[in-house]
Amino acid sequence: MKLFLVNGFFICKDNRNMEKYVVEIETGLSAVKKALGVCRRVQEDPAHAQAFQKADRSPVTLADLAAQAVITATLLNTFPTDRVVGEEDAGLLRREAKICRAVLSVAVKEWPGLTEKTLSDLIDYGRRSFDTRGRFWTVDPIDGTKGFLSRRGYAVALALIDKGTVEVGILGCPGLGRRPAAGDNAGCILLAVRGAGARVLGVDGGDAERIRRSASVSPGKARLCESVEPSHAAHEIHAAIQRRLGSHVPPVRMDSQAKYGALALDIADIYLRIPRKRDYVEKIWDHAAGTRIIKEAGGRVTDIAGGTLDFSRGETLNQNQGVVATVGGIHDRVLSAVKGVVLEC
C-alpha cells in the first residue's frame, strides 16, 4: 500500500487518478484548511462576526472575502495559469476602506504579505472570464453564510473541473464529524477524486478513511436533508415527496453544501433542491464538490428530470433544473416522486 502525506493527512495512492492529482489534492486541502482557519478567527472575534449586504441583498462576511482571497492565493501559488471561479467579488472592499482593512487583518494570518490591493485583486480574480470547457477551480469560501453567522454550520467548498468534469471535490465541514453515528461533531474534511472514491479526514490531520454508502435504503425509511431556511428550500414540496415515498421520517435540516456530506456520512439519504421559481438556476460552486463526493461514495446526483449536471456552461447550471442527490439505490424512486409532485404544483 502506497501512502502519501498531505498537510498532515495520510492518503492511500490506490488509484491512477489519485496519483495523477496528488499536487492538486495537496494544494486543495491546504487551501481549504487555511480557509477554515480564517473562518474560526472571524467567529472567535465579536468585532469581526458581522454581515454586510451585497448588491443582491444576500449577506457576506469578512470571512467570505478573506477565505476566497486565501484560497485563490494558495491555488495560484502552485498553479499560476489555472482559472479560479469564485462566488464573491471585491466591490465592497474597494468602496469601503475600513472593511477592506478588517478583511486584510484576518487574511494575512493565513497568507502573509497581502496588501489591500493584492487582497482585492485576488478576490476579483474569481470573477474574471474563463474557458468553460477548460480546466478551472470553483470555490464557495463559505457556503451557508447564515449558518456561519448563527454557528449552526457551514462548508468551505472547492472543486477542480476539467473539460466539464468535476475531477476533485473537497468540502470542509466544521459542523460534521468523521463518525457522526458515534456523536462526533468535531468537524471533518471530505475529499473525492473521480474514479478513486471518497474519503473523510479530520480537520487537524490523521489518516484518511474511505467512505462508501453501499447498503440499500428503503424509500419508506429514507431520511431527507434540506436547508434550514425556508427561502432556500421548498419544505412543503419536500414533505409531499416524502409522502409519495411513504416516508414519515422527520427531515434533517442543516445549512450549506454540508448536506452532501450528510449523505456520504450516513446522516441522511436524500438531498433535494427544488426551484421555487422556474427561471432559477443553480450556481456551480454550490454543487461541484458535493456532486463528486456523492458519486464517489456510491450515490447518484442528477437534476429533477434525471439529467446529468452540466458543469461546462459557465458559472451556472443553466442546462439543468434543480438537483436530486441520493444514496442507497433509491434514485429512480425519488425521481419519480419528485416528478409527480412537481407536475402537480
Mean pLDDT of 247-260: 93
Q: According to CATH, where is 3.40.190.80 located in the chain?
A: 219-344
Which of 61, 74, 138, 145 is the catalytic position?
145
- Whether 291 contacts 237, CB under 8 Å: no
The pLDDT value given to residue 228: 87
Tell me which architecture the domain covering 3-211 has in CATH: 2-Layer Sandwich (3.30)
Helix (H) or strand (E) holding 245: helix 235-245
Radius of gyration of the chain, Cα coordinates, nearest whole angstrom? 19
Residue 302 reports pLDDT greater than 90 = yes
Statement: residue 8 has pLDDT above 80: no
pLDDT at 10: 55
SS3 state of residue 122: helix
C-alpha cell at 116: 489591500
Which class does domain 219-344 fall in?
A: alpha beta
pLDDT digits (tens, 9 = 90+) for 146-166: 889 888 889 999 999 999 999
Q: What 3-state DSSP class applies to 91?
A: helix
For 190-228, write each residue's pLDDT tens digit: 999 999 999 998 887 667 889 999 889 999 999 999 988
Tell me how far apart the alpha carbons of residues 171 and 29 are, in angstroms, rounded to a whole number: 9
pLDDT at residue 73 greater than cutoff 60 = yes
What the block records as the C-alpha cell of 141 is: 469560501
Q: In degrees rounded to 5, what are phi and psi of residue 162? A: -135, 125
| Confidence at residue 183, expressed as pLDDT on a 0 to 100 scale | 59
pLDDT, residue 5, reads 55
- How far, in Å, CA of 119 to CA of 124, rounded? 9
- Our answer to whether residue 61 is catalytic in this structure is no
Residue with the larger pLDDT of the pair 22 and 159: 159
Find the helix or strand (DSSP H, E) in which 124 lies.
Answer: helix 116-125
Of 133, 66, 140, the closest CA to residue 101 belongs to 66
pLDDT digits (tens, 9 = 90+) for 257-288: 999 999 999 999 999 999 878 788 999 999 99
Over residues 7-34, the mean pLDDT reads 80
Q: Which of 27, 64, 162, 326 is catalytic?
A: 64
Q: How confident is the model at residue 1 (pLDDT cuts 50, 70, 90)?
A: very low
Write the CB contacts of 66 (distance below 8 Å, at least 6 apart in sequence): 38, 42, 103, 104, 106, 107, 110, 119, 141
pLDDT value at 118 more than 50 = yes
Concerning whether 72 is annotated as a catalytic residue, the answer is no
Task: Pinpoint the residues of the chain covered by CATH 3.30.540.10.
Answer: 3-211
What percent of the chain lies above the pLDDT cut of 90? 73
Inter-CA distances, 98 with 43, 69, 95, 110, 150, Å:
19, 17, 9, 20, 24
